[in-house]
Amino acid sequence: MTASDAILNVSDLNVAYGESKVLFGVGLRVAPSAIVACVGRNGAGKTTLLKSIAGFVKPRSGTVSFGGTDLVGRASYDIAKLGVKYVPQDKKVFSDLTVRENLELGSYSTQDYDWERVYGYFPKLRQLLDRKAGYLSGGERQMLMIGRAILGRPQVLLVDEPTEGLAPSIVTHLKDVFRDLSSSTALVIVEQNLPLVCAISSKVYALKEGHIVAELSRGESITVDACERYL
Amino acid sequence: MDPQLLPSGVIFGLSIGSIYFTMAIGLSLCFGLMRIISLDQLLYYSLGGYITYSFGVVTGSVWLGMVGGTMVAAVVALAVERLVFRRIYEREITFSMITSFGVLIGGIGVIQFFWGVVPRPVAVPMMTQLNVLGTEVPVYRLVVIGVAALVYAGIWVFLNRTITGKAIRAGIENVEHVEGLGINVSRLFTLTFVIAGALSGLAGGLHAPLIMVYPQMGLEVLAFVFMVVIIGGLGSIKGTLVSALIVGQVVSLGSLVYAPLAQMAPFAAMLLILLVRPTGLFGSALLKR
Ligand SMILES: Nc1ncnc2c1ncn2[C@@H]1O[C@H](COP(=O)(O)OP(=O)(O)OP(=O)(O)O)[C@@H](O)[C@H]1O
Ligand SMILES: [Mg+2]
């Protein structure tokens, strides 16, 4: 794959929090409608990588190119508006707002009220519309976070440990959702659940102490064993 | 205490509480969303009072003066947000407190420069009295209460029925997540700050005919307004309303029992409430971001 095929092209990214360096020359390429996974131990820098792409963390150096636009230095709301959306790891919905209001905010900047599409993926949200999001279960919160993020049809969705702490049935559901979403949206998924990663990804990057130590591609060796070797 | 004084005492308390509420609501929103303690709101309150005085003298209408005071306060707040707060949102809360105190003190100097140090009387815009349960009550105080009720309703509708208001409520919970949805948070900050400034100006305008305008008038209400915010629970609209009503009554009825109580009783009430509910009446642990 050449650089121009990629919708998202990260290269030589260096990120530090104050004096402590977290990412070292990280690069990754994401093709349109690909599912790219990033695996690594706790503290490897996975969240930092996604946040740097989404503009929440300012990199020391490096480039993040999205369809030819450089994202480095742009405000995070601007990056989200351009079509690169980040679904955070913490599963914090706006708990004092209803599910409906949470979804409305997902449509804020793009005026995309295609909620039917969201219900298509997550039928349960329709029944929960008037409930305060604070009362949702962990799985329902994750559905809401992803549902909210796909309004406006982002071209790239950065999803941070979506299945962490969720019941197996919901994990299976999310797997199907990601597969289906990838026909229109490129996905970058940070995930510890290796069987899930291997089932859906077309490419896997292994991140170790801030360095990309392996890049596994479909057809070659995306297996749980192969992934584990690099953790 | 003479029971004959009770109805007018209650209405006096309601009107004082209404003025505190009108100011405190903006402070509470500013803290909730931007995590700043904006002492400079007391300057917009004083400005609101002074502009009401001057416009009132020039146009002959104190009501028009209040409209002008609200608008001037909003404009000055906008300028201060752009020039000062923009640069310090990221910093510690204490930093905003010190900086805004500087703005307040500097602003008081400017007021003294233009208007001098002598207190100026502002005419009560309506002198009518109304008979409530056997006592005469100034209608103007009822108007003040009505205006505060409208402010509460307006803020409620804004926060709950408009998309911008919903984004502000969401931002009170988590600014980063709001930004992640493609919403320009710094615009929300500016808007919230200007609304707070306008309401402070309105409060100053409403209060002016009941007191007199003088350069330190903001410092005089500072303690009470912050008490309202703290008792209500930082960032809570309903809490701010309830606590403004409580503080208003404690000030008013306290002074009926024994005059010095007007100053002391609210502090005692605050300590009692905070002993029982350290986050204030409606403050939630949620706000510990
Ligand atoms: N805001 C911050 N300030 C300082 N250091 C940070 C900050 N956020 C993360 N770090 C440090 O950066 C390193 C990478 O953190 P990061 O959250 O990116 O890891 P991660 O791979 O997402 O881990 P996890 O699997 O636990 O989510 C860690 O050592 C962490 O302590
Ligand atoms: Mg992480």
Report the amino acid identity of residue B50. Answer: Y
pLDDT value, residue B265:
84
A115 touches chain B (CB under 8 A): no
Average pLDDT in chain A = 92
Q: B184 and A75 in contact by Cβ < 8 A? A: yes
Nearest by CB: B181 against A95, A96, A148:
A148
pLDDT value, residue B284:
65
Could you read off the pLDDT of A55-75 as tens digits, one per residue? 999 999 999 999 989 999 999
Q: What residue ranges define each of the domains in chain A, with the CATH number in brackets?
A: 3-228 (3.40.50.300)
Residue located nearest, by CA, to atom 3 of ligand 1: A17
Q: Residue A170's pLDDT band (boundaries 50, 70, 90)?
A: very high
Q: Residue B1's pLDDT band (boundaries 50, 70, 90)?
A: low
Low-confidence winner among A112-121, B208-217, B221-230, B263-272 (lowest mean pLDDT): B263-272
pLDDT at A3 over 60: no
Q: Residue B2's pLDDT band (boundaries 50, 70, 90)?
A: confident
Could you read off the pLDDT of A100-136 as tens digits, one per residue? 999 999 999 888 888 999 999 999 999 999 999 999 9
Average pLDDT in chain B = 92
pLDDT cut 90: percent of chain A above it:
83
What CA dihedral angle connects A76, A79, A84 and A86, to 10 degrees? 10
pLDDT value, residue B43:
97
Residue with tokens 């990033």: A38
| Separation of alpha carbons B191 and B29, rounded Å | 11
Would you say A144 and A73 are in contact if contact means Cβ atoms under 8 Å apart? no
Distance A182 CA to ligand 2 centre (A): 22
Distance A163 CA to ligand 2 centre (A): 12
Would you say B198 and B70 are in contact if contact means Cβ atoms under 8 Å apart? yes
Instruction: Using CB atoms within 10 Å of the CB of residue B58, give its burial: 0 to 12 exposed, 13 to 18 middle, 19+ buried.
Output: exposed
Could you read off the pLDDT of B233-285 as tens digits, one per residue? 877 888 999 999 999 999 888 888 887 877 788 888 888 888 888 888 887 65
Would you say A106 and A149 are in contact if contact means Cβ atoms under 8 Å apart? yes
| Separation of alpha carbons A163 and A190, rounded Å | 10
Distance A48 CA to ligand 1 centre (A): 6
What sign does the CA torsion over B62, B151, B177, B235 have? positive
Least Cα distance to A186 among A28, A34, A84, A51 occurs for A34
pLDDT cut 90: percent of chain B above it:
74
Write out the H or E segment, with its range, that includes residue A168. Answer: helix A168-181
The finding on whether A52 has its CB within 6 A of some atom of ligand 1 is no
pLDDT value, residue B267:
85
**If DSSP codes are grouped into helix, strand and coil, which group holds residue A10?**
strand
A1 touches chain B (CB under 8 A): no
B177 touches chain A (CB under 8 A): yes
Distance B170 CA to ligand 2 centre (A): 23
Could you read off the pLDDT of B18-37 as tens digits, one per residue? 999 999 999 999 999 999 99
Closest approach of B185 to chain A, Cα-based (Å)? 8
| Separation of alpha carbons B176 and B183, rounded Å | 10
Which residues of chain B make contact with A92, given a CB cutoff of 8 A? 173-174, 177
The finding on whether A58 has its CB within 6 A of some atom of ligand 1 is no
Segment B47-58 mean pLDDT: 96
The 8-class DSSP code of residue A127 comes to H
CA B27 from centroid of its chain's CA atoms = 7
pLDDT value, residue B183:
96
- CATH 3.10.50 assigned to domain B3-288? The reply is no
| Separation of alpha carbons A139 and A164, rounded Å | 10
pLDDT value, residue B54:
96
Segment A151-155 mean pLDDT: 91
pLDDT at A20 over 50: yes
The 8-class DSSP code of residue B258 comes to -
Write out the H or E segment, with its range, that includes residue A11. Answer: strand A8-17
pLDDT value, residue A219:
67
Q: From the CB of residue A202, how many other CB atoms can be counted at a distance below 10 Å?
A: 19
pLDDT at B202 over 80: yes
Segment A24-35 mean pLDDT: 94
pLDDT value, residue B180:
95
Q: Which ligand is nearest to the CA of A39?
A: 1
Segment A16-40 mean pLDDT: 95
Give strand ranges (E) for B117-253.
129-132, 135-138
Nearest by CB: B173 against A78, A81, A95:
A95
pLDDT value, residue B85:
94
| Separation of alpha carbons A85 and B284, rounded Å | 30
CA B178 from centroid of its chain's CA atoms = 27
Residue with tokens 């559905």: A143
The 8-class DSSP code of residue A3 comes to G
DSSP-assigned beta bridge partners for residue A9? A29, A65
pLDDT value, residue B287:
46
pLDDT value, residue B288:
43
Write out the H or E segment, with its range, that includes residue B58. Answer: helix B41-59
Nearest by CB: B183 against A88, A95, A109:
A109
